[in-house]
Amino acid sequence: MNEAGTSAYASGERRQNLTLRDLFDTAYAMIAPFFDPDQGWAGHSLEHLAFRVLRENFPQLSGEEVHTIVVVAHRVYIDRNPGRNGHLRRPGEIRPPAP
């Protein structure tokens, strides 16, 4: 149930954390370059740096929330760049870096 007392599915909204949704566009703009093959190092993406950038810019987010944003951004990048994502791991393979 959401704040209005209706289920998210009944209202057509599946997102449970609207705070993350509100941050996503800004966060995606910050970290999308880390998925770009032209920005990689020796053919490897720099997606691990996305975690650091998000933690530095959004200190209020938990580690789980940062991980969620990175995985979703990764999926969005793959969808938006079908010919430029072969170097990336699949989103389910992304694990947060050790603390």
State the pTM of this model.
0.67
CA 22 from chain centre, in angstroms, equals 13
pLDDT of residue 48: 81
- Write down the mean pLDDT value for the chain: 76
Contact criterion met (CB below 8 Å) for 66 and 51: yes
Backbone angles phi, psi at 42, to 5 degrees: 55, 40
42-57 tens-digit pLDDT: 656 677 889 999 999 9
7-25 tens-digit pLDDT: 444 555 555 778 888 899 9
79-96 tens-digit pLDDT: 888 776 555 555 566 666
